[in-house]
Amino acid sequence: MKAVKPCVALAAILIAIAPSLRAQEHAAPPIPSFSVLDMRGRSQTYNSLRGEVTVVIFFSTRCPMSNAFNYRRNVLYHDYQKRVRFIVVDSNSNESLDEVRTYAQDAGFDFPVYHDVDNKAADSLGVQSTTETLVLDAAGAIRYRGYIEDAPNPERTTKQGLRLAIDAVLAGIPVETPQTRAVGCAIRRAHPQ
């Protein structure tokens, strides 16, 4: 019987286990459940965001950086609403449900907006700023965390991080840059961490 060279044996083992390693790589844990209020004050609980690609966007009524993206949020919603679920959340403890409702109407938001009482959703998802966004795949795993675009001024934008992430997740391919730094106003927490 011939002796198998160690490098050949190692290569055979790696080839055999590669599919399971790839499966583990894509088996990121789903996000924790969270509850938010819709604009009528009714609780909406998201126990699992499985089944369809989901975008979670955090915003503020009072943050100029966040407000700079209002129009682009609407454009993204209209471009993807038939293929992607949108959850747009205000988590600031100093912004009331009435203020959020009025702001959403005045800003002309076409997507559903939610209020995060006591910023529990932001805490649960580890969100720090009002421009932070998440893209989840159909299994409910986070595939992107970061900015909508890399500049508040659309004329200075060079990377549309959120759009690129949505396109990649819808195509079933890895997001090229799965994490970017969202710059905006810190979420005003009911109980500072």
Q: How many CB atoms lie within 10 A of CB 35?
A: 15
pLDDT for residue 193: 59
Is residue 114 within 8 Å of residue 44, measured between CB atoms?
A: yes
Nearest to 104 by CA among 95, 94, 96, 112: 112
pTM: 0.81
- pLDDT digits over 98-112, tens only? 999 999 999 999 999
The two structure tokens encoding residue 44: 């909406």
Is residue 36 within 8 Å of residue 115, measured between CB atoms?
A: yes
180 Cβ contact partners less than 8 Å away, ≥ 6 residues apart? 145, 146, 147, 150, 159, 161
- For 167-190, letters b (16+ CB in 10 Å) and e give ebbeeeeebeebebebebbebbbe
| Domain-wise residue ranges, the chain | 28-171
Cα separation, 116 vs 92, in Å, equals 7
More confidently predicted of 192 and 62: 62
Nearest to 110 by CA among 135, 80, 152, 149: 80
The two structure tokens encoding residue 105: 């109407």
Q: How many CA atoms lie within 13 A of 75 on its CB side?
A: 10
Mean predicted confidence (pLDDT) in 81-85: 95
pLDDT for residue 50: 73
- pLDDT digits over 129-183, tens only? 999 999 999 988 899 999 999 988 989 989 999 999 999 999 999 999 999 999 8
pLDDT for residue 67: 95
Element (H, E) at 37: strand 34-37
CATH number of 28-171: 3.40.30.10
Mean predicted confidence (pLDDT) in 118-123: 90
